Structure 1
Amino acid sequence: MPLSAEILQANILIVDDQMANVQLLEQLLGEAGYSQVSACMKPEEVCALHRKNHYDLILLDLQMPVMDGFQVMEGLKTNTADSYLPVIVLTAQPGHKLRALQMGAKDFISKPFDLVEVKTRIHNMLEVRLLYKKLANYNRELEATVAERTAELRESEARYRSLTELASDWYWEQDENGNFTKVSGPVLEMLGMQVEPLAGDSGPAELDGWVEAEREKLRRTITERQPFLDYVFRRVGADGSQQTFQVSGEPMFDRASRFIGYRGIGVELTSK
């Protein structure tokens, strides 16, 4: 729907204790094409009406019995559903204009009414108000979409982790320094080692027995940040027994294309 059509369908409330003023504004707005205009001559009822009807614009007289317009605005500020105060004040007192704006009114219309000024200020105010509502709705939709996509991503990651654990003996991740950050499955027990860099320098005694040429090739691949698929390497125990492993991995990068580590899966092929 074009914004001009939405403006004419805006929900407007006139608040004035003088019937003549109410009738004049109703006639003016009706002739201008506004279709949803209502009036209230009891200022103490305005806050409840706004909570119920969510007006796009309230034309508020400042000088009224029981509650003046300033008190009405204070009450409207308690509406937690919408922090935007859609008020144009109606006043014959020049000194009241600044105070009303400081209290949150968006504009003012001077009495006696200049009909051209009234129509212009009302149209401009409603245009800004409806654009504000569109932006708020867009932000809510965007937040909902982000939340939905995040949930889908987490679900997808959970499925991926589950599948990799089912299809392999272990799943692993390393940071940019080669340190293990995540290990699932019996990799530590199977390799008989503590959490050490997969392609690091020879470390504790637990790493003895690896075929160094195979480890060096894997080390170069990781240093160059290249993916590797079904890479086979072996380990020979002190008693002559041999273990053969197959590992696949890929480098990980953040949104700024900065290298942040590796992730991969592995299986034990033979154990003698």
Structure 2
Amino acid sequence: MSEAALYVVATPIGNLQDMTLRAVEVLQSVSLIAAEDTRHSARLLSHFNINTRQLSVHEHNERQRSEMIVQQLAAGNSVALISDAGTPLISDPGYILVGIVREAGYRVVPLPGCAAFVTALSAAGLASDRFSFEGFPPAKKGARLEQYRSLADESRTLIFYESPHRVLDSLRDMAQAFGGDRKVAVARELTKTFETIRSGSLDELLVWMEADHNQQKGEFVLLVEAAPRRKEESLGAEQLRILSLLTEELPVSQAAALAAKITGIKKKVLYQAALEINKG
């Protein structure tokens, strides 16, 4: 490694055989490994005979540790960043460190590898061309339900992480916010011995999970099907007459806004119709 850099290294989310050859080489070659939990990472490093010194970097000390790592880079020493599992920064610490290193003018080199939400999406059978990764939902029921309700009309597949002691309550809140017939996929313990990927409606999966306590254990990725598309509102003769009269006296935007108040039709629909009327 001729130039000092921060290497962001993805590690396995369960199965150690998912470690890449490049990741092993980099972790053996750098001067320091910044790890979320050095005790947790010790097993991984020992398995691959990696003896590089570790430094703990977690959410409570990240800014302070970032300054130490920049000092290492300034001295010409490369550093690797790893999390407990998967790709660093994905619902894990690291973005503060990466930002500080980049601002200091040093290279940040990503090493691709495992990410639990991508792994789950690839096998869930839900639309994968457009999706929104939401990370962990709020721990408290009220805030969690509010977030789900705000996403009820989302046109992309939604992806969440969830913990074992909240997963059942989380699915119940989803059923309340999205409707029990919304299709979901539950991915549990990915790449591990008890890996489970099951899909169905929220109502169906709640019955399944409530009946089998073992399915409530482990690390979860929850994927929710995009909301069904709503039919566009159409304008009747009376709505068009009102809109036409208003566009004779007002700018298009104001006419659409006033027509929306009078008719109850969405302003966006009326605005487009007003533009067509003006063209005519």
TM interval, shorter chain, is under 0.3
Query: Normalized against structure 2, the TM-score is what?
Result: 0.26
Greater gyration radius: 1
Query: Normalized against structure 1, the TM-score is what?
Result: 0.26
The higher-RCO structure (CA 8 Å, 6+ apart) is 2
